[in-house]
Structure 1
Amino acid sequence: MSCSPNLTRRGFGRLAAGLAATATLPTRGFALTATGRPLHGLSAFGDLKYPPDFPHFDYASPEAPSGGQFNFSVPNWGFNQSPLTFDTLNTFVLRGSAPPRMESLYDTLMASALDEPDAIYGALAQTVTLSDDRNAYVFALRPEATFSTGAPVTPVDVVFTYETFKEKGHPSLQIVLQQLERIEVEAPDRVRLVFSGHQTDQDALAAFAVPIIPKAFFDDQPFESVSTKAIPGSGRFQIKAYDFGRYIEYEKRPDYWAKDMGFARGLDHFDVIRIDFFRDRTTAFEAFKKGNIHFREESVSKTWATEYVFPAVTEGKVIKREFPKEKTPVFQCWALNQRRKRFADPRIRQAINMCFDFKWTNANMFYGLYQHADSCFESSDFKAEGPPSPAELEILEPLRDKLPDAVFGDVWRQPVSDGSGQDRKMLREALRLFSEAGWRQKNGRLVDANGQGFALEYLIDDPGFERVYGKFIQTLRLIGVDASIRLVDGAQYQDRQNRFDFDMIGAAFSLGATPSRNSLTDLFGSATRDRQGANNLVGMADPGVDALIEVVNKASDRRSLTMAMRALDRVLRARLDWIPNIYSQSHRAAFWDRFGFKPDKPDYGWPVESLWWFDAAKAKAIGKA
Structure 2
Amino acid sequence: MAPMIGRREFLAAAGAVAAAPLLPRLSFAEAPSGTRLHGLSAFGDLKYKPDFKHFDYVNPDAPKGGLFNFAPPNWVFNQSTLTFNTLNSFVAKGDAPPRMEMCFDSLMASALDEPDALYGLLAESVSISDDRNVFEFILRPEARFHDGTPLTAHDVAFSFDLYKKDGHPSLLLPLTQMTEAAAVDDHTLRLTFTGKQSARTILNVAGFPIISKAYFTENPFDGASMKAPLGSGPYKVGRVAAGQTIEYDRVEDYWARDLPVNRGLYNFDRIRIEFYRDRQAAFEAFKKGDILYRQEFTSRIWATGYDFPALKQGKVVRREFPSEKRPSMQATALNQRRERFHDPRVRKAIGMCFDFEWARRNLFYGSYERSQSCFERSDYRAEGLPSPEELALLEPLRGKIPDEAFGEAVIQPVSDGSGRDRKLLGAATRLFAEAGWQRSKSLLANAKGEKLTVEILVEDSIWEQIHGSWIGNMRAIGIDASIRVVDSAQFAARQNDFDFDLITMALSFTATPTRDEIEGLFHSRSATLPGSRNLCGTADSAVDSLVDAVGAAQDRQSLTIAMRALDRVLRARQDWIPNWYSANHRAAFWDMFGFKEPKPDFGFPVEALWWFDKEKAAAIGKG
Q: Which of the five TM-score ranges fits, normalised by the shorter chain?
A: over 0.9
**Which one of 579, 599, 603 corresponds to residue 601 of structure 2?**
603
Percent sequence identity over matched residues?
A: 55
Which ranges of structure 1 fall in alignment gaps of 5 or more residues?
none
| Paired positions, count | 623
Q: Does 1:275 align with 2:273?
A: yes
Q: TM-score, normalised by structure 1?
A: 0.98
Aligned to 1:6: 5
Aligned to 2:217: 219
> Do the aligned residues in 2 keep the contact of 1:9 with 1:513 (CA within 8 Å)?
no
Distance 1:297 1:182, change over 3 A: same
Residue 223 of structure 1, CA deviation: 2.2
**Which one of 259, 262, 265 corresponds to residue 264 of structure 1?**
262
Q: Deviations over 1:63-122 (max 9, x none)?
A: 111110000001111111111111111111122111110000000001111111111110
Structure 1 letter corresponding to 2:283: F
> Do the aligned residues in 2 keep the contact of 1:13 with 1:106 (CA within 8 Å)?
no
Residue 9 of structure 1, CA deviation: 4.7
Aligned to 1:189: 187
Distance, in Å, in 2 between the alignment partners of 1:565 and 1:583 is 19
> Do the aligned residues in 1 keep the contact of 2:94 with 2:224 (CA within 8 Å)?
no
Residue 20 of structure 1, CA deviation: 2.3
Residue 444 of structure 1, CA deviation: 2.1
Distance, in Å, in 2 between the alignment partners of 1:197 and 1:370 is 43
Aligned to 1:232: 230
Partner of 1:587: helix, strand, or coil? strand
Aligned to 1:21: 20
**Which one of 579, 585, 588 corresponds to residue 586 of structure 2?**
588
Distance 1:534 1:44, change over 3 A: same
Q: Deviations over 1:510-531 (max 9, x none)?
A: 1111111111110001001110
- Of residues 486-495 and 258-267 in structure 1, the stretch that sits farther from structure 2 once superposed is 258-267
Distance, in Å, in 1 between the alignment partners of 2:52 and 2:610 is 21
> Do the aligned residues in 2 keep the contact of 1:348 with 1:433 (CA within 8 Å)?
yes
Alignment of 1:406-555 (within 5 A): 406-555=404-553
Distance, in Å, in 1 between the alignment partners of 2:496 and 2:78 is 9
Residue 8 of structure 1, CA deviation: 3.5
Distance, in Å, in 2 between the alignment partners of 1:17 and 1:582 is 36
Aligned to 2:239: 241
Q: Does 1:564 align with 2:572?
A: no
Distance, in Å, in 2 between the alignment partners of 1:490 and 1:9 is 25
Q: Deviations over 1:530-578 (max 9, x none)?
A: 1000000010001111000111111111111111111111111111101
Aligned to 1:387: 385
Distance, in Å, in 2 between the alignment partners of 1:39 and 1:344 is 48
Q: Deviations over 1:249-274 (max 9, x none)?
A: 00100010111112211111101000
Structure 1 letter corresponding to 2:6: L
Distance, in Å, in 1 between the alignment partners of 2:553 and 2:503 is 32
Structure 2 letter corresponding to 1:583: Y
Distance, in Å, in 2 between the alignment partners of 1:6 and 1:23 is 35
Q: TM-score, normalised by structure 2?
A: 0.98
- Of residues 171-180 and 478-487 in structure 1, the stretch that sits farther from structure 2 once superposed is 171-180
Structure 2 letter corresponding to 1:479: I
Structure 2 letter corresponding to 1:575: R
Distance, in Å, in 2 between the alignment partners of 1:66 and 1:521 is 40
Q: Does 1:342 align with 2:340?
A: yes
Structure 2 letter corresponding to 1:606: F
- Of residues 179-188 and 456-465 in structure 1, the stretch that sits farther from structure 2 once superposed is 179-188
Distance, in Å, in 1 between the alignment partners of 2:38 and 2:131 is 19
Structure 1 letter corresponding to 2:71: S
Distance 1:140 1:25, change over 3 A: same
> Do the aligned residues in 2 keep the contact of 1:13 with 1:107 (CA within 8 Å)?
no
Residue 54 of structure 1, CA deviation: 0.8
Structure 1 letter corresponding to 2:349: A
**Which one of 600, 609, 612 corresponds to residue 610 of structure 2?**
612
**Which one of 263, 284, 287 corresponds to residue 286 of structure 1?**
284
Distance, in Å, in 2 between the alignment partners of 1:398 and 1:18 is 45
**Which one of 67, 70, 74 corresponds to residue 69 of structure 1?**
67
> Do the aligned residues in 1 keep the contact of 2:13 with 2:608 (CA within 8 Å)?
no
Structure 1 letter corresponding to 2:20: A
Distance, in Å, in 1 between the alignment partners of 2:208 and 2:448 is 51
Alignment of 1:75-94 (within 5 A): 75-94=73-92
Structure 1 letter corresponding to 2:44: G
Residue 56 of structure 1, CA deviation: 0.7
